[in-house]
Structure 1
Amino acid sequence: MAVARPGADHEVMNSQATGHLRVSDAEREPVIERLQTAYAEGRLDHDEFDMRTHLAMTAKTRDELAVVLRDLAPPAKGMVPAGAETGEDRVLAALAHGLAIPTVFVGPLVLMLVSGKRSPYVRRHAAEAVNFQLTLLLVTIVTFGIGGVVYAVAWIASAVAAIMALAGADFRYPWTLRPVK
């Protein structure tokens, strides 16, 4: 009669290859997200994307799931796929353009320094707003105040930029120096 050792079942479980373990829906989701990213990047055509998505959804083991991504490079660390910005990112980006109206470049600069660290989308929009406002300030100084008339047009451009940011699109102000990247 064999006597079972405590923890023996645990050792057997750890010795099994993890590739033969069954997968859950939670394990399938990141694979499908990676396929969507690869499709958006142009690494997969539509038919291959459909086929791989079907294989990922019907995979029963980790080995079957790994086959779906075998020839796709993992996404670069820290890179957010285009269009992956959150609603909060969009609101902050729009706020960067909107704050430029009453605060000139100070509001967008503060947002760029605070929220730009966690979101490249917010940083891009805030930097664009800072650059535009600095360009307007420079024009106003060089023209001895006459360029201040341009600020009326700048408010319209800032409002358009804020709407574009809320929609998730990039916006570039025309005729702008871009010392802040």
Structure 2
Amino acid sequence: MYLVESKGVKNLSTIVETVTELVTPILEEKDFELVDLEYVKEGKNYFLRVFIDKVGGIDIEETALVSEALSGKLDLLDPDPFPQAYFLEVSSPGAERPLKKEADYEKAIGNYIHLSLYQAVEGEKVYEGDLISFTDTQLTLKFKIKTREKELTFDRKNIAKARLAIKF
């Protein structure tokens, strides 16, 4: 499932499905991965953001190639599912890439991650630590509180956002 914020946009699922169908063959041809996709309104402008990656990381030339290919396909859409003019942005998810799919969590085991929760657990709604394990319903994080290590298990339905994090 891809992050999408509506803010009054109709046919949002149609837009996401359409863009996913258009970009997938472009990415598969180059062995790139679709990490996330969002169509959002910020201020007066709409943005269609496509986050891509590959083993070893994606570079600016590769994002430009995907942007050009996708832009050409989007221009040919008839009927146009977009209610407003928008800016197309194709980029890397960065070092703090979101964890959305099961494969993302699998790759993140043993890595330092950031969790934002819907409801507080032990008085906190934000945790950072090493991902120890995950199942369909839960994940376990190991983190430090001052000088001692602690493990906590979180219900995945309580996780608002999960992403890789940089440890300082």
TM-score past 0.5 threshold: no
**TM-score of the pair, normalised by structure 2:** 0.30
**TM-score of the pair, normalised by structure 1:** 0.28
Structure number having the greater strand percentage: 2
